[in-house]
Amino acid sequence: MTLRTKSRLAAAVLGGLLLWVPGHKLLVERFDLNPWKFGGFAMYAVPAPKIGIGFYTEENGSLVPLRMQSHPDDQPLFLDFFSTRKHMGMWARPDALATRVFERNPAIDQLAIVITSQHIDPQTAKLEKTQRGYRYQR
């Protein structure tokens, strides 16, 4: 390999890293991706993401928390969703969870799933909660 080729290769690698840092930052901010994954440098400045989930049904025009019995067969599905959501952010939708909730609760026709996650607000540098809702109908 010639010196010229090595220099070009080194410049390409450095250029890629320089472009990846702001690109990764945009992906984390826009799509709620895990800043600890995908080669991001934010892992040194951001706590590991925490995720919460709520299930609601609609009664008389307002959302009411859905009371569900936990089922041992559902645990792998929920754990898989939490793991995927932590890494992929908004790209991991709770569609499979909604299907399972409808299977376990035949009396409900509408379901709202609210995902709560934490992120650092770039303006204030404080942890803030973000909620994203998903609505489903049978």
Return the domain boundaries, the chain. 3-137
pLDDT tens per residue across span 106-137? 989 999 999 998 877 778 878 888 899 999 99
Under the banding of pLDDT at 50, 70 and 90, the label for residue 43 is low
Q: How far apart are CA 108 and CA 3, in angstroms?
A: 69
On average, the pLDDT of the chain sits at 86
Longest dimension (CA), the chain: 74
- Find the range with the poorest average confidence among 23-27, 33-37, 64-68: 33-37
Crossing angle for the helix pair 75-88 and 95-104, to the nearest 10 degrees: 160
Q: How far apart are CA 64 and CA 62, in angstroms?
A: 6
Whether the model pTM is above 0.85: no
Q: How far apart are CA 87 and CA 91, in angstroms?
A: 9
Q: Do the beta carbons of residue 95 and residue 111 sit within 8 Å?
A: no
Instruction: Name the token pair of 73.
Output: 């067969």
CA dihedral 84, 89, 92, 95 (to 10 degrees): 110
In this predicted structure, the answer to whether residue 99 has a pLDDT above a threshold of 80 is yes
